[in-house]
């Protein structure tokens, strides 16, 4: 069973978890007591100063192997390509390999076919990730007039082209880091929120973070009913709730969610915010006041000074908010 087939089967069984152990887990060489966190490898590397760059000539040779298998598929070419891809993590090679494939003017249809094979027909996670990247660049977008969005099982029945494959794999946090930008690339920024926002309720680790970075926060991309950008509103209400800790996404949620501006509006209003909004704001402020030294804090948030004063004003002038979330006074203490 390929990894794509495994993810689909798990989704259909109702026993699926976004952080469940993939069938190729033994390849990681982890000890029995080790806990592999899906998506952590790529996410933490991207936040570190560790260099993952390889020599350009190595990437050129790898791109040639991918190109050869795409143009002249055979067992021999496939074996050479996959062996080369498995020598290193997908994160280190997808961008340079795709750049070389562009420069080689490789047939787009052939690259799409190879992307489909790697993403849906292989049993190794690094091969699937490379396939996802290829589909993001050369996949079939389908009919852009079709309404888009995944169903309860993660299949984008309403979407078209190759988006259903990307959205299905995106449900597992080992692949979300690669699927999120691939979906944005393939579907376009104007459609990405409709496709990725529905996935967020099933993710609470690094996969959730990956999607938050790919959403479209353009203020012109508003919901007709509410008049607000649904992605920005999600950040304020639920963006910081995850199993990693609120500090991981706090600055992103504050910045793209317009935290300071919303706090100003709430301070000027005579009405109390709804429970979900206030709890979400408290979670962001809790994350910004962690001052861990690892993630951005209130001092790194562009409007941190205003947010500090406005949050204090909101809590002190509306003591009833303690019934919605009791952390307000403690957050104020953490800001000092």
Res. 150: pLDDT tops 70: no
* Residue labelled with tokens 């787009």: 108
**Residues 6 or more apart in contact with residue 216 via CB below 8 angstroms:** 184, 189, 190, 192, 193, 229, 231
Provide DSSP, 95-162: HHHHHHHHHTT--HHHHHHHHHHHHHH-S-HHHHHHHHHHHHHHS----TTS-----TTS--TTS-TT
Please name which of 287, 293, 279 lies closest in space to residue 334, comparing C-alpha atoms. Answer: 287
Res. 156: pLDDT tops 60: no
Q: Can you count the helices (H) and strands (E) in the chain? A: 17, 0
Query: How far is it between the farthest Cα atoms of the chain?
Result: 72
Output the pLDDT for position 313: 97
Res. 269: pLDDT tops 50: yes
Task: Encode pLDDT of 206-263 as tens digits.
Answer: 999 999 999 999 998 888 777 899 999 999 999 999 999 999 999 999 999 999 999 9
Res. 174: pLDDT tops 90: yes
How far is the C-alpha of 238 from the C-alpha of 142, rounded, in Å? Answer: 31
Task: Encode pLDDT of 68-80 as tens digits.
Answer: 999 999 999 999 9
Share of the chain above pLDDT 70, in %: 88
Count the Cβ atoms, other than its own, within 10 Å of residue 41. 17
Handedness of CA 218, 223, 227, 228 (dihedral sign): negative
Helix (H) or strand (E) holding 308: helix 304-317
61-65, 253-257, 293-297, 308-312: which has the minimum mean pLDDT?
293-297
Burial class (CB in 10 A: 0-12, 13-18, 19+), 137: middle
């Amino acid at each position: 069973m390929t990894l794509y087939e495994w993810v689909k089967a798990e989704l259909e069984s109702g026993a699926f978890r976004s952080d469940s152990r993939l069938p190729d887990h033994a390849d990681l060489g982890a000890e029995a007591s080790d806990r592999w966190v899906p998506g952590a490898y790529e996410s933490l590397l991207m936040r570190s100063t560790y260099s993952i760059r390889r020599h350009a000539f190595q990437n050129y040779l790898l791109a040639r192997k991918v190109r050869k298998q795409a143009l002249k598929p055979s067992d021999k070419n496939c074996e050479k390509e996959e062996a080369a891809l498995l020598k290193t993590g997908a994160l280190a090679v997808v961008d340079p390999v795709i750049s070389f494939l562009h420069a080689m003017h490789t047939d787009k249809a052939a690259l799409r076919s190879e992307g489909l094979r790697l993403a849906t027909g292989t049993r190794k996670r690094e091969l699937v990730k490379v396939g996802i990247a290829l589909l993001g660049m050369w996949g079939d977008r389908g009919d852009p007039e079709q309404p888009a969005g995944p169903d309860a099982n993660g299949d984008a029945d309403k979407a078209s082209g190759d988006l259903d494959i990307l959205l299905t794999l995106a449900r597992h946090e080992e692949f979300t880091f690669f699927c999120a930008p691939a979906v944005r690339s393939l579907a376009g920024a104007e459609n990405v929120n409709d496709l990725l926002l529905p996935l967020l309720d099933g993710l609470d680790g690094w996969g959730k973070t990956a999607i938050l970075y790919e959403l479209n926060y353009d203020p012109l991309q508003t919901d007709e009913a509410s008049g607000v950008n649904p992605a920005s509103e999600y950040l304020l209400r639920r963006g910081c709730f995850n199993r990693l800790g609120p500090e991981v996404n706090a600055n992103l949620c504050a910045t793209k969610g317009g935290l300071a501006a919303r706090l100003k509006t709430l301070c000027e209003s005579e009405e109390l915010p709804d429970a979900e909004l206030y709890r979400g704001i408290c979670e962001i402020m809790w994350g910004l006041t962690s001052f861990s030294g690892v993630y951005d804090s209130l001092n790194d948030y562009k409007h941190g000074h205003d947010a500090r004063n406005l949050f204090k004003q909101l809590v002190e002038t509306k003591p009833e908010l303690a019934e919605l979330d009791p952390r307000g006074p403690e957050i104020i203490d953490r800001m000092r």
